[in-house]
């Protein structure tokens, strides 16, 4: 087994647990520290079983996030779609959130359906409607939270984004606020900052168009909690901060 695997949580927790169990046996049989022996025993049992599910190495997780984002970027490039995206929450005949990318300047949000990808009108191509790249991350957060945030407002959005940041460690922190007629979202990256920089170097339009899987999860959470489509109007990357300005549609 490689050393890198030994450092993964499911292995280190078991090794630490075994050490504490060994200490408890020694203290119980060879010393008079009975209380310390019992304490070491319970710590060992707890640590031994605290992490029993295999984890994914960080490099592997980043590669998975990157592969899907690049594929989506290349598809939109081939379709010559460069407009800013609109995050659309479930509504009417749309049962799951989508990202709508217009073919040109955004005029109005067309009717979207679950089975629709290419959105066309009387004069030809209008845009595309795709599943947000961050939907699997958001679904994981909602499942763990066991909390229905849809249509519950900005506080519900903050609660979900807090879990994305702290519970899933996708970002160091975030800020979500309403300012005039705009919604400001700031995501402070940490361990995924290099991933963000490398991805934007290869796919420079991805941030204002669909967002990477991490930013997309935050954007989709905002749209679902507010129960309103949110158009990306501005994007800015400043050191470790990713800043979005959104407008209700």
> Could you tell me which of 105, 132, 107, 103 has the C-alpha nearest to residue 120?
103
Question: In DSSP terms, which residues pair with 179 in a beta bridge?
Answer: 182
Cβ-contact 245, 182 below 8 angstroms: yes
Residues 97-106: tens digit of each pLDDT: 999 999 888 8
Question: What own/partner pairs with CB < 8 Å and gap ≥ 24 does 187-191 have?
Answer: 187/214, 187/215, 187/218, 187/241, 187/242, 187/243, 187/244, 188/240, 188/241, 188/242, 189/214, 189/240, 189/241, 189/242, 190/240, 191/58
Q: How many CA atoms lie within 13 A of 218 on its CB side?
A: 32
Residues 30-67: tens digit of each pLDDT: 777 777 777 766 666 666 555 544 444 555 555 555 66
Cβ-contact 133, 212 below 8 angstroms: yes
d(CA 94, CA 52): 38
Asked whether the predicted pLDDT for residue 8 surpasses 60, the reply is no
Asked whether the predicted pLDDT for residue 10 surpasses 60, the reply is no
Residues 196-210: tens digit of each pLDDT: 888 888 888 889 999
d(CA 158, CA 190): 19
Q: How many CA atoms lie within 13 A of 217 on its CB side?
A: 24
Return the higher-pLDDT residue of 13 and 247.
247
d(CA 23, CA 25): 5
Asked whether the predicted pLDDT for residue 88 surpasses 60, the reply is yes
Residue 172's Cα: distance from chain center in Å? 12
Instruction: Share the mean pLDDT of the chain.
Output: 81
């Amino acid at each position: 087994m490689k050393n890198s695997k030994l450092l993964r949580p499911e292995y280190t927790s078991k090794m630490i647990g075994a050490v504490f169990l060994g200490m408890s046996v020694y203290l119980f049989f060879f010393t008079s520290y009975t209380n310390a022996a019992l304490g070491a025993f319970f710590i060992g049992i707890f640590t031994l079983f605290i992490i029993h599910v295999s984890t994914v190495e960080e490099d592997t997780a980043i590669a998975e996030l990157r592969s899907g984002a690049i594929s989506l970027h290349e598809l939109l490039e081939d379709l010559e779609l460069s407009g800013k995206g609109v995050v659309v929450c479930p509504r009417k005949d749309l049962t799951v959130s989508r990202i709508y990318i217009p073919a040109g300047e955004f005029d109005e949000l067309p009717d979207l359906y679950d089975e629709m990808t290419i959105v066309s009108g009387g004069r030809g191509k209008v845009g595309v409607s795709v599943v947000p790249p961050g939907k699997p991350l958001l679904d994981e957060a909602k499942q763990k939270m066991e909390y229905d945030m849809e249509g519950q407002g900005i506080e519900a959005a903050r609660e979900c984004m807090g879990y994305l940041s702290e519970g899933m460690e996708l970002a160091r922190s975030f800020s979500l606020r309403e300012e005039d007629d705009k919604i400001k979202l700031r995501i402070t990256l940490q361990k995924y900052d290099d991933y963000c920089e490398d991805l934007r170097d290869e796919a420079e339009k991805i941030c204002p168009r669909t967002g990477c899987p991490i930013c997309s999860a935050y954007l989709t959470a905002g749209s679902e909690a507010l129960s309103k489509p949110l158009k990306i109007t501005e994007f800015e990357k400043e050191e470790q901060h990713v800043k979005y300005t959104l407008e209700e549609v």
